[in-house]
Amino acid sequence: MTMPSSRSHQQRRQLYQRKKKALLAQPPTPHVLRLRLLVILGVFLLGLLGLTSRLVYLQVVDYERLGAIAQSQHQVTLRPYIPRRTIVDRNNNILALDRIAYTLYAHPIGFRLPKELEENLPEAIAPTDLPKAVAHYLAPVLGDITPDDLESQLRQQRSGILLRPSLDQAKVDEIRRLRIDGLELIERYGRFYPQGSAAAEITGYVQADEHIGQAGIELSQESQIQREPISLALRRNARGAILPGDLQAEAMKYDDWELQLSLDLPLQEAARNAMQKQMAAYKAKRGIVIVMDARNGEILSLVTEPSYDPNNYAQVTPENYDVFKNWAVADLYEPGSTFKPINIALALDAGVISPSTVVNDTGTIQVGPHRMKNYNGAGNGLIDVAHVLRVSSNVGMIRLMQNLPQNDYYDRLQSLKLTELTGIDLPGEVAGSIKSREKFTSSPVEAAVNSFGQGFTLTPIKLVQLHGAFANGGTLVRPHLVRGLFDSQGQAQNVTPKAVIPRNPQQLPTQAEPEADNQIFSPETAQTVLEMMETVVTDGSGEKSKIAGYRIGGKTGTAQKAQNGRYIPGSYITSFVSIFPVDEPRYVILAAADEPTEPNSFGGTVAAPVVHDVIQALILREKIPPSEAIAIPQSNASDDSGNE
């Protein structure tokens, strides 16, 4: 087969190129021109149609979404911080308020001292030991911590150590003058408690970072204290700056309401001082004082010791976390002899005894398989009901209550609502406990131990509520601290509660409004028992609460503590509960000291003197006149003036 030569191939290619040029050189025919124009016009119309449909979609169909996006680029929503409402006592002394404060953090990894501080370090501190060096300079500024304790804190971690949740401007200025790298001050609104620890067990505290109540009234009344948040919709320019014309003066306004408590701050301080003195003298583990107005349940004072400073709650060490627990409402104990007046009232109302009933106090008594005795084992012979109470006879109480059938006794104990909350407006309240009916009635032992205040438990605030019935004609009133919200003109205000804590009234009545089932004693019985309690003060173990010219009723108690169903040897709660004044009963005062360890530690020696001091403060605060003329002792010294 013969292959074409390369020359013939080149000739054919040249021929093709000449024909192509000739064809292109010819002018297009009219038909071709029209076709080209139609194609171009069609492409143009298609493009115009697509653009128009897109514009219609953007401007009509997707208008709302795109408008919102455009609006958001020029508008911003701000939620400014709104201060919490101020808390005040009954006389408008400030207990808690919001103010500009500073949180102090330490970052040891970044510690560095300025040259002048480094040069002035004591020889015992190496400049390279930065935690020790920083503690040396910072502790005196903080003022409430030693350099050694602060150094221990600074060695806990490398960064982010919270040293103080709230510092005032003066301390901040001092810290800034130190110019120590690694100390961080964050400006914010902070909760400030100008009274320090004076009312910490009542106010509680607010967590610094979340600004939410964590204890006390700050927690239980969160919905009342926290104002409604404000949202501001503002515009901004192309650079992101807020347009000032949009911010109206009224937009940042909020109410001036304050939460008022029934607490009397000077009385609170007097009660704390009295308890601290007795705790120190008798080396007690902890103490409590409660003062309640029995007419309406208002709490005038509630002290638990030891306490803490809510401004520096973060400084409380783990082993001392119990200070955050308000044992007035959150701890159960056996009330002991302070419950004897209540048992006597139950028996009197049942009609099984009368004030003239006489029992034989032999010092000991056999009840079932158990032999029970008075605290000292000694008998008092034939004694009436008032005498039983005055000498706090256990045997006498057992014999008195044996007149009351056990089923009836149990029903009457239940009528006291021992297993129900008092409803006090503090968080963490627990209900008392009592044996089941079956167990209580199956053996005479249960009724016997209950007769002198053991075998069941209640809280201190429950005991105060029960004794309040002796001061108001036999009625249970609800203990409370919150009076309500008041504006700057003193007018009561209301907010809708958010159900943070139940039983949270907005405004409480000035007088008790008892329900029928809150009448636990007859008025006659309440008065009779109160007069018996007066003899405990005039002639019995409550003598250390006596004040010349004033009629005071009371009952001491020295109750053995129990744990896991067994009594703890040598472990007691000494207490004294008082009604004052007897002739016009109004106030209930309870003082209790837990585990005093000094000799002669009893309710009459440890707690009664506290009540004495509290009543003296009450007399001064409320200007209470004496019940009777006060005899002024005659002096034996010679009178040089010659006057008779």
Active site residues: 337
Burial of 394 (0-12, 13-18, 19+ CB in 10 A): buried
CA pair distance 601, 373, nearest whole angstrom: 19
- Whether the CB-CB separation of 253 and 92 falls below 8 Å is answered with no
CA pair distance 383, 357, nearest whole angstrom: 8
Q: Which helix (H) or strand (E) element contains residue 17?
A: helix 6-25
Question: Which of 323, 278, 389 shows the shortest CA–CA distance to 614?
Answer: 278
The H-assigned helical ranges of 402-522 are 406-415, 437-442, 444-451, 460-471
Question: Which of 357, 291, 380, 392 shows the shortest CA–CA distance to 528?
Answer: 357
Residue corresponding to tokens 């064809």:
23
C-alpha pair distances (Å), 383 with each of 348, 355, 391, 451: 16, 11, 10, 17
CA pair distance 141, 136, nearest whole angstrom: 10
CA pair distance 450, 412, nearest whole angstrom: 12
CA pair distance 376, 368, nearest whole angstrom: 21
**HSE-up of residue 16 (Cα within 13 Å, Cβ side):** 6
CA pair distance 408, 81, nearest whole angstrom: 59
Question: Which of 265, 188, 261 shows the shortest CA–CA distance to 221?
Answer: 261
